[in-house]
Amino acid sequence: MESLKTFSIITIIFLISCSEKKTTSNLLPDSTIVNFQADLMIVQEENQLLRSDSLVRHQRIDSLYTHYHITKKQVEETLDFYRKDINRWKEFYQSVMHRLESLQRNEIQPPKL
């Protein structure tokens, strides 16, 4: 009976550890998600300022996914991963803000869409 209990606990721990690895395997690199998020914020703001119709908005956002060779699912999973830890989320947004500031100072060029 004791061995069955021990086996059950080990099995549960193994399954949990495997599931955690599976969720992080599809995460985007930090630089990719930071650059994408900063560019997405710019595109969304431009769409709002230009009062772009929904088709144009979606085309511009889709072109960002194409530019970075990423999927919406990867972005969602990566952002969910960041949201689970408030410190990681803060660091992420600080990096996004730093990129936006660098773009504003023309230190780096935004992607051509």
pLDDT tens by residue, 30-85: 999 999 999 999 988 888 887 877 887 888 899 999 999 999 999 999 999 999 99
The mean-pLDDT minimum among 4-8, 27-31, 49-53, 88-92 falls in 4-8
Residue type, 44: Q
Provide the pLDDT for residue 21: 45
Provide the pLDDT for residue 47: 81
Q: Is the dihedral of CA 30, 34, 37, 39 positive or negative?
A: negative
pLDDT higher than threshold 90 for residue 17: no
Q: Which residues, including other chains, have CB under 8 Å from residue 36's CB and lie 6 or more apart?
A: 28, 64, 68, 70, 75
Which strand (E) or helix (H) includes residue 67? helix 54-68
Across the range 76-105, mean pLDDT stands at: 95
In contact, 77 and 44? CB cutoff 8 Å = no
Q: Report how far residue 98's alpha carbon sits from residue 27's, in angstroms, rounded to the nearest whole number.
A: 21
Provide the pLDDT for residue 22: 41
Q: Is the dihedral of CA 29, 113, 53, 70 positive or negative?
A: negative
